Amino acid sequence: MSPPPEAKARARLDRLYRDHARSVYRCAATRLSPQDAEDVVCEVFVVAWRRITEVPPYELGWLLRVTRNVMANHLRAGSRRAALVRRVTGVSPLSVPDHAGDVVGQDAAERLLARLPARDQEVLRLLVLEDLSVPELAEALGCRPNTASARVRRAKERLARLYAEHDRSAETPSRTPSPPASPPPAAPSYATVGATASTREGTTP
Q: Which amino acid is at 134?
A: V
pLDDT in tens, 22-63: 989 988 887 778 888 898 999 999 999 999 999 988 888 889
Reported residue count of the chain is: 205
Q: Are 93 and 54 in contact (CB under 8 A)?
A: no
- Three-state SS for 196? helix
Alpha-carbon distances of 43 from 23, 28, 33, 50, 110, rounded to whole Å: 14, 11, 15, 11, 20
Q: Is residue 102 over pLDDT 50?
A: no
Alpha-carbon distances of 51 from 25, 55, 197, rounded to whole Å: 20, 7, 12
Q: Is residue 122 over pLDDT 50?
A: yes
CA 203 to chain centre: 24
- Residue ranges per domain, the chain? 1-102, 105-170
pLDDT in tens, 140-178: 778 888 998 899 889 888 888 887 887 676 655 555 445
Give the residue, 11 or 133, on which the prediction is more confident: 11
For the 105-170 domain, the top CATH level (class) is mainly alpha
pLDDT band of residue 105 (cuts 50, 70, 90) is low
CATH topology of domain 1-102: Rna Polymerase Sigma Factor; Chain: A (1.10.1740)
* pLDDT at residue number 101: 38
Mean pLDDT (whole number) for 83-104:
46
Q: Are 59 and 19 in contact (CB under 8 A)?
A: yes
pLDDT band of residue 94 (cuts 50, 70, 90) is very low
- H helix or E strand, kind and range, residue 69: helix 59-89
